[in-house]
Chain A
């Protein structure tokens, strides 16, 4: 077994802290599978297996002088294929980013998203007071917990992009319609909701993640509800897998899980046909990281008229949209290095299956894939829809 030299001890400790089985790093076979499957591995000066080799050789300092670790989109593809089960994404890559960040080696776009997250509680730099503005004109009124001050059955953690991003707000509105049609008693935190912090954590900002988690934990603690649902797989991952370690434990479901449980009640409401060839993109943090594959598909198949087809990369093998692990805030940086977008790759796959609709279940994806569809030749007609939007559409008016 390789010994980790003392100079590297702090990084090693961090990897251990970041992932419980970080110790497995010692078992690396240097097979290179991780770097092979990595969508940007070919651009990294230190793709995962090399990073481990350098760490073992006490040369991690070399890594700090490079910036290609920022190509990592925390998609878990490497972790998925590692024969030694090393927690590469949550342990190795996240800790490497943390070191870069502490050394001040942060691309400026990412820096402003992190600063905004600190200051406003969302990476978009929007006013926290306006977090529930998307729901302003909806009838019946969406309950904001701090205003109604009454228990609800379900607390809906809306997330950053559904709250603020003009395109993604329509997903929040669609899900509101679906929840209301099902008679779900739900409320939102509104101005008391902060970014879940997961992508900030995976971009190396663990301290910021903890700060945001604590704030959300305080808000959760103020109100009565039975469970949390969320629009955002990143929030799902954080609240399910990371918050408990900070003493914040609540049952949480992604909305596709929650709705799939109510499929019998939902089905009769889906009266309007959505006649289209639909393919589903597994979001990294719903699929690979949390193994929710069937529920989103069950929901899509429940929509009359939908013909569901699979892309070449599906389920565990899904491709990343490029938004994870800080990728959402590194578009310019990554474009300069790669001159290719992961989202375009995915749109091409959807096209090659003859899909008319690319269905998604993560708020990062609609804007990313829609942008990609604009630049991929012949993809102009491809529609990108969140499952919530398709369900709302199938409910008619």
Chain B
């Protein structure tokens, strides 16, 4: 079983986000990047599959500031092979991918992933900066593979996977998908594991990150953004202040008014 996990880094929402002077993009200079949390689940799911049924797990990630650490952490968890996609060095390749849309990323990553001849590709079902659809189904079409997203459990049996697809309301559909295929992971079967820093540091000394040059990025198919802005809340909540007792009093009267008390 040859499993590839595609990982991207996204803006960390712990930090305040700013719009750059063009008014049409995020200000990258203050952006802190973090692994897309769903990709973290995709890594966990891949490791779980490997632990259960054997195989090889390869992590593929475009180059971002801090991506090496993400890759080494995945290796410390049990990934076998790390591949970093580097862009146009003259433009500062870490910058190139931060600004790239998913159409561009999918095309660039598809070229590398195709060579790896995976049986199964896992990636996060969505990311907080998707503006042209999630990466997974875009990649799947570039690879000519079927895609199923919102997956929270995967079982592999000869030539196919059975994936638990989540629908609103807690309904689960068991989908059978012929391999090779791409799955968009909503949640791994167990929360992503912790890996000790010492283990990551050890891996850094032994594991190698293979670099592959990406072709020129092709973002066609993504929308052009004319303006970005922070939403003005149409109506902000009426804020209740005071001591806990005072706030509790006010809440009780709201409950009464709403007819639940």
Q: B-contacting residues of A (Cβ < 8 Å)?
A: 98, 101-102, 104, 106, 108, 111, 114-115, 118-120, 125-127, 129, 204-208, 210-211
Contacts and interface: CB of A to CB of B under 8 A. Distances in A.
B15 A127 contact: yes
B14 A104 contact: no
A323 to B, nearest CB: 20
B99 to A, nearest CB: 22
B191 interface: yes
A249 B207 CA distance: 33
Contacts of A204: 196
A208 B14 contact: no
B15 A111 contact: no
B194 interface: yes
B109 interface: no
Contacts, number: 39
Nearest to B195: A104
B201 A114 contact: no
Contact of B194 (A101, A129, A206): A101
Chain A CB within 10 A, most for which of B16, B193, B197, B199: B197
A121 to B, nearest CB: 12
Given A127-B15, A129-B15, A206-B198, A104 B193 contact: yes
Given A106-B194, A210-B198, 4 more contacts: A102-B196, A207-B201, A208-B196, A210-B197
Q: Which 6 A-B pairs have the closest CB atoms?
A: A207-B198, A207-B197, A208-B197, A111-B194, A106-B194, A127-B14
A207 B194 contact: no
A254 B200 CA distance: 33
Interface string B137-161: 0000000000000000000000000
B28 interface: no
A120 B34 CA distance: 11
Given A108-B191, A119-B34, A205 B14 contact: no
13 contacts: A106-B194, A108-B191, A115-B194, A118-B197, A119-B34, A126-B14, A127-B15, A127-B16, A204-B196, A205-B196, A207-B201, A208-B196, A210-B197
A207 B194 CA distance: 13
Nearest to B200: A207
B194 A104 contact: yes
A211 B193 CA distance: 20
Interface in B169-225: 191, 193-201
Chain B CB within 10 A, most for which of A108, A207, A208, A211: A207
A114 B194 CA distance: 9
Given A102-B199, A207-B199, A207-B201, A125 B14 contact: yes
Interface in B1-25: 14-16
B62 to A, nearest CB: 20
Nearest to B77: A104
B13 to A, nearest CB: 10
A205 B199 CA distance: 10
A106 B199 CA distance: 15
A215 to B, nearest CB: 12
Nearest to B201: A207
